[in-house]
Structure 1
Amino acid sequence: MVFLCADFIYDQHFKDLRSRGSLVIGPALVTLCASKSEPLFFPRANCPLYTDSMAGITVALSGISRARCRETASLVRFMGGSVHRRFSPRVTHLITDSVLCSQYHKAVAAQRYVVHLRWVHAAWALRDDINISITAPHFVRGFLVEPFCGLSIWFVGYSAEELIGLRLRTVEHMGKLAAHVRDATHVVVSNNADISLGDFSRRQKIVHDEWFWACIRLSSCADEDNYKWVERERAKKDHDPRPAGSFLRLHSVDQQAVASSFPGRWDCDSIAGDYQISMTVSCKMSKADDIGKEMVETEEHYLRALKIVVKCFMEPLEERFKQRGSNLLSKAEMRCIFSRVPLLIDAHQVICNDLRMATDNPTAVRHISEVWLRNAENLLPLYSAYIGNCDRALEILRESDANPEFHAFLKSAENRAECQRHMLKDLLVRPVQRLPSVILLLKEMQHKVQRSDRSRRYVTRAINALQDILRTANEARGQVETYAEAFKVYTQIEDYPVSSPFIMFK
């Protein structure tokens, strides 16, 4: 005999039937079978079944009191799900209210849902609605355990301005701000900080800041073992790519200036002024050949910076786009920001190799100049396109940074060891700076060469060739600005399509 019962929680008759091992079903199960024109199926003895909304679901519970575990397990079984004591490969959902639970990282590694206890209660509240799938991803996502849930976080080595953003994001992702370092479960240390692990408790997780941004990017608490702070002698990081005795030192670009449109024209003099490119002659360095070696070193640093853009930013974004479609940047935006960087790498890899060989030549000055003369034709379209597009690329980057998920990706990438603490917006300006810096080195080389030396004419020709590239790039950028302004005006004219054949840009 099968009993139909509408109340599985408080009804005493239901409790009596269950204690006797009777077959009990709920009205939702009857409604569901009728809607599908399927025969009514019966539960096993002592396993009352109100609905089958959790059919095929296996849950494990962790970090929850025994009383609440028993209550939750009963509700899951009433809805057709099964319960395991521990996490296993058969588990589809881990139920917990803290990322500190012992089974959390196993579930995340197995790519299982980790949900709050209230998911089960929400499902039970909808038990009579057969049209709602409580296991659908869009429903479950509303109950996922936040990356910092249950954590108390303390930050070390950050400025007051940085702390404001970090604390806001901690609270936004359900973390708590420790009132004192001794109260923290996790201590997040800036990569620039110099601390001793002896200052903290052994029970605390001491992690570097990439962990924080990885948690936000992944929407789950990243495994702390992969981001442990390792106490070591921390060499002072010099963001200037040139060695101490450099002829040419590119000072760091002011962040606000980088984020805004470039005001000047891309000729050598304005670049030198806008980006504070200054020359300092090292102690008693008088030979032009030494400047050639300096040029090779700066070329290697420049190549390294371009490869960081590809490895740490472009490739991870492309991979995310292939896997599930990027919600960080559109394909057009990625093309605008990154498309020309691999081409610049290819061109400058050839130049770098040629410069190395040229410096070993007895007539190094002439051969170095010829390297730039040979490659000027290839560099012209590359730099014209890149510089003309640079304003737009930085604007996209600035707008996208308002997206919390993209901001988290950016911070996580910039804090990777391979990135060497470079910021993407600074790296994207490096091609704008490169040719002016080469011109300044060539001018210094020209100054060191005697007027009677035949190689001097090759240096002059190389300088002129690179200045022509900058002049053309400047004109291209001016055209882009003109098109952008014209497009803006036309879009404001009512009932006048931008694709009109009467619109001509000259």
Structure 2
Amino acid sequence: MSSVPITRAVLIGKDLENDYEISRILQNVFNLQVSKLNLLDETSNGKTETSDELVAILNSEDVVYVLSNFEGPDFRTLHEKSRHHYRLISTHAIRTLCLEPNPTFPVLKVKRPIYCFFMTNLNFALDVKPYQTKRVVDLIHYMNGCVRKKFTHPLTLISDDCVGNLTRTAVSLNSRVLTTQFIEKCWERRDDINFMADMDTYMVEYALKCFGGLVIYFHGFVEDDMTEFREKTLENGGVVTTRIEEATHVVVGQDVNISRADFLDVHPDSKIVTAQWFWKSIHLEFCNHEELFDPFPSPDPSKSRLNCSRGRRSHTSPGSETVPKRGRKSKSSRGNLELSNASSYGLSEESLEFVIPVEIPKKHDRRYQVCMEMLATEQNYVDDLQLLITLFKEPLERLITQQSSSPTEPPASPAPFLNKMILSKQQINSIFGKIQPMLNIHQVILNSLDTFMKTWNASYDDIALGYVWAIHGPELSKVYPPYVNDYDNARETLDECLANIPKFLTFVKSAESDPKCRKRTVKDLLIKPVQRLPSVCLLLEEIKKRTDKNHKDYGLLSTAIAGIENVLQKTNNSRKEIECYDNIFSICNQIEGYPPALISANRTFHKTVELGILSGDGFFGNYGGRSMTIFLFNDFVAFTKTRSSGNNPNLTQSFYASTRGTLSRQVSFLQPKYKEKKKFKLVSMHRISDFRVVRFEFANEIIIVKVRNEESEYLFIGQPAGETTFNDLLEFFKLLCNLSVQFCGKELRMEELTEDVVKQLKNSANEDFAVIDRAICAAKHGSGSLRRRSTLRRAVSNVSLGISNGLQRFASRAHLSFINESSL
């Protein structure tokens, strides 16, 4: 019947009786005869009867039936209840066809209604429950899709079960797997003509996730871990249960002592897996094979015999052994056998034939034990560095290589995400780039230590562990300072990537859950190089204590210790320089107007204080009643304007109530805290040699500073502001005095304004006496308060007037120019 050309369209239902637009489209665009018909006419007694007109139409084969929806009684009558085969289409599909440049009426199949064209050219296979099959097939057909009976690549599989056989096959063939919810969501938007633009988004959103259809029970995890497990399980389509009998999968912790007998309540079909299965599945984006992560692996008799044989032979190899009760357990039991008095009489003659004789060390002393500990810790350290390379760095680099080798070709891997780059090459180098040089050196050191320890009995007098470390000292000094100095940047990059790149987070979690990591995180492994050399130095000191002074290794141990300490000192000095430079750069970046030429690695920052300006000469006169932040470097001082809102908490209300201390609009409470992004604005810069004298007065907590530039001198009076205390101010200017002597060879005088000092200033007719005397007198005659220094502020208007009168001879001075780098 589908081969018969369509010449007539019948509009079905009362809702299409007045739809003249559809009639015109069918007649004018597709050249079809149009008629309208109600399938069921209601009778007066409530029963329905089929009309004669309907019978005639139903017997025609060149007719297409047009309906407004596929859910009413008209649709069910034609599609489900009738024995005849009809061709059906919706009004939405007809309107969609009109949007094409050259619209043609589609070839309709019988019993294959078309409501929309969302799934045109899409082919599906199903792996759903029997009661879902009919509805899923019907909806795909309504949207012009095709369903195959058997799954073959590259069909799209519809499934809600991530562990089904077809699902695993589809994943292995790199086929897309979508959930039944995808079909339902597409059908919900069946009337949206613009939906095709969102089809790709829907395919990603409703793809089958790695835990789709799973019910997971977690055993042996703390609550902090459970929070993350619950979140990740829900994100990946699974459900967390607290009842183990309901679980399809039981995830157990690595440090939990369990056996199969502990899981008798688990359903026979449930899978018991390690945490690595959980993170590996999330990272690979499909449910990994559970048998690869069995917490109860079946023993292999052949492997057991092989391991037993290896264990006997390892008695002569101390490289993987550690001293009992010190550090981690070794990889063999050599030390335990040698250090014990175990007898061979308990073994039969047949057994003794397979035992390689072990010679008891001639020098079975404390030195031997510490040397064995040195070997064991070095082995563990090399293993840790190797883990950083093999579990983290190399897999990430392979993804970059795979993507760069075939950027446009489809991935050959069963899972497309395996070829997707997770981190850039720059990010990988920032985190792991400096590991390999250290690993290369320590592998050589490990081999040398192992060789010495294997010949301990035969060459005791020639054993020189100090020589091993002494000869590699220059190489260690080349690789450790760069790593330690860049460690903070590596951690910062790592934390940033973990927070912002979900795929990297799951990659790291999957690697950390590997038994080789022994519950240590990548952060734990990255800090190992920072801790290694100090521990080596301590072990060398311990070996030296146990070594006879006449032994050839004694002097070499001293050389090795000095070399390691030199590496540590070089590393610390280099780190301090970098931290100092970073500190200076951070501070200068906060100061608007700071000359970039003055940012130098040779410049050091010492201290900063916040100073409330009471009054002053020159540009300080413009900042009366406001605070300034002063930065002290090793060769100059920077005065900056502090951007803050409101009044200074350390300046009393009486100050602001005074005539000279009225708040300006710039410091009103309505002003934002920072005008710009930078916290400070540079006002002036002065060499340390420009400072002439610093005077302070304890009673009122005031400080008076005289500064000189190339033209003249000026002074200012201030008090601590913000979180700065008066003691902080004193320490700041004491440090300034010390730097003046150290770098300028000039003594900067700092004196307390006691009564005797004030009298001397008066008798000597010092030019600063008038200003100082007015300030102190104003403080003494002011009314008291809880804080003595506030008494000066009560009369600060008089002080300001006095200072201004006393400094009128400086009124014509311009602001000091910024200093040049060449002048420092």
Which sits farther off after the overlay, 433-442 or 324-333? 324-333
Name the structure 2 match of 1:62: 127
Write the mapping of 1:35-46 to structure 2, written as runs, cut at 5 A: 35=99, 37-38=101-102, 40=104, 42-46=106-110
Deviation, 1:307, is 0.8
Unaligned runs of 5+ in 2: 1-5, 8-63, 300-318, 330-362, 404-416, 603-824
The reply on whether 1:202 has 2:268 as its aligned counterpart is yes
* Unmatched tracts of structure 1, length 5 or more: 234-240, 252-283
Secondary structure at the counterpart of residue 103 of structure 1:
helix
Once residues 182 and 87 of structure 2 are traced to their aligned partners in structure 1, the CA distance between those partners, rounded to angstroms, is: 27
Q: Distance in 2 between matches of 1:137 and 1:351?
A: 56
Alignment of 1:355 with 2:445, yes or no, is no
Deviation at 1:37, TM superposition (A): 2.7
Residue 5 of structure 1 contacts residue 14 of structure 1 at CA under 8 Å; is this kept in 2? no
Compute the displacement of 1:308 (Å): 0.9
SS at match of 1:207: strand
Partner residue in 1 for 2:429: 335
User: Is contact 1:288–1:445 with CA below 8 Å preserved after alignment?
Assistant: yes
Distance 1:41 1:224, change over 3 A: farther
Using the aligned pairs only, state the percent identity.
28
Measured after TM superposition, the shift of residue 129 of structure 1 is: 4.8
**Partner SS for 1:133:** helix
| Structure 2 CA distance for partners of 1:63 and 1:36, relative to 1, 3 Å | closer
Whether the aligned pair in 2 keeps the contact of 1:98 and 1:149 (CA below 8 Å) is yes
> CA separation in 1, counterparts of 2:510 and 2:232?
14
How far residue 176 of structure 1 moved from its aligned partner, in angstroms, is 2.5
Counterpart mapping for 1:99-178 below 5 A: 99=162, 101=164, 103-127=166-190, 129=192, 131-133=194-196, 137-178=200-241
**1:214 and 2:288 correspond:** no
Q: Which amino acid aligns with 1:313?
A: F
- Bigger mean CA offset, 167-176 vs 422-431: 167-176
CA distance in 1, matches of 2:209, 2:381: 40
Say whether 1:457 aligns with 2:555: yes
Counterpart contact for 1:344–1:382, Cα < 8 Å: yes
Cα distance in 2 for partners of 1:145, 1:35 equals: 33
- Report the Cα offset of residue 288 of structure 1: 4.1
**Are the structure 2 counterparts of residues 125 and 162 from structure 1 closer, same or farther at C-alpha, using a change threshold of 3 Å?**
closer
User: What residue number does 2:60 align with?
Assistant: none
How far does residue 100 in structure 1 lie from its aligned partner after superposition?
5.2
Distance in 2 of aligned mates of 1:494 and 1:133:
52
CA deviation digits over 1:169-211, x for unaligned, max 9? 3334343332322222211111222223242331221111111
* Residue 440 of structure 2: aligned partner: 346
* Residue aligning to 2:525: 427
Matched, 1:385 2:449: no
CA 1:64–1:479: 2 relative to 1, 3 Å: farther
Q: Which residue of 1 aligns with 2:570?
A: 472
Normalising by structure 2, report the TM-score: 0.51
- Counterparts of 2:525 and 2:367, CA distance in 1: 29
Whole-Å Cα distance in 1 between the matches of residues 583 and 424 of structure 2? 23
Aligned partner (choices 113, 123, 137) of residue 73 of structure 1: 137
Residue 292 of structure 2 aligns with which residue?
226
Give the corresponding residue for 2:515. 417
Q: Which residue of 1 aligns with 2:544?
A: 446
Question: Which whole-Å CA distance do the structure 2 matches of 1:480 and 1:250 have between them?
Answer: 35
Most deviating of 377-386 and 170-179: 170-179
Are residues 1:307 and 2:386 paired? Answer: yes
Which AA in structure 2 matches 1:353? N
TM-score, length basis structure 1: 0.79
More off after superposition, 43-52 vs 471-480: 43-52
Amino acid of the residue matched to residue 68 of structure 2?
Answer: D
Q: Deviations over 1:400-442 (max 9, x none)?
A: 4445544332222112233343321111111122212222222
2:385–2:435 CA contact under 8 A, matched in 1: yes
How many Å separate the matches in 1 of 2:106 and 2:594?
A: 68
Distance 1:326 1:482 in 2: 40
Correspondence for 2:468: 371
Q: 1:382: how far off?
A: 0.8
Higher strand fraction (1 or 2):
2
In the aligned structure 1, how far is the partner of 2:322 from the partner of 2:143?
Answer: 70
Note the 1:250-329 alignment, pairs <5 A. 285-286=364-365, 288=367, 291-322=370-401, 323=403, 329=423
How far off its partner does 1:133 sit?
3.3
Report the CA distance between 1:8 and its aligned residue: 5.1
1:504 maps to which of 584, 588, 600: 600
Q: Secondary structure at the match of 1:139?
A: helix
CA distance in 2, matches of 1:246, 1:74: 71
Asked whether the 8 Å contact 2:461–2:552 carries over to 1, the reply is no
Letter of the 1:298 counterpart: T
Q: Could you say which residue in structure 2 is the equivalent of 1:272?
A: none
Contact 1:248–1:437 (Cα < 8 Å) also in 2: no
**Distance of aligned partners of 1:329 and 1:502 in 2 relative to their CA distance in 1, 3 Å threshold:** same
Larger Rg: 2
Q: Could you say if the C-alpha distance between residues 167 and 10 of structure 1 is closer, same or farther in structure 2, counting changes exceeding 3 Å?
A: closer
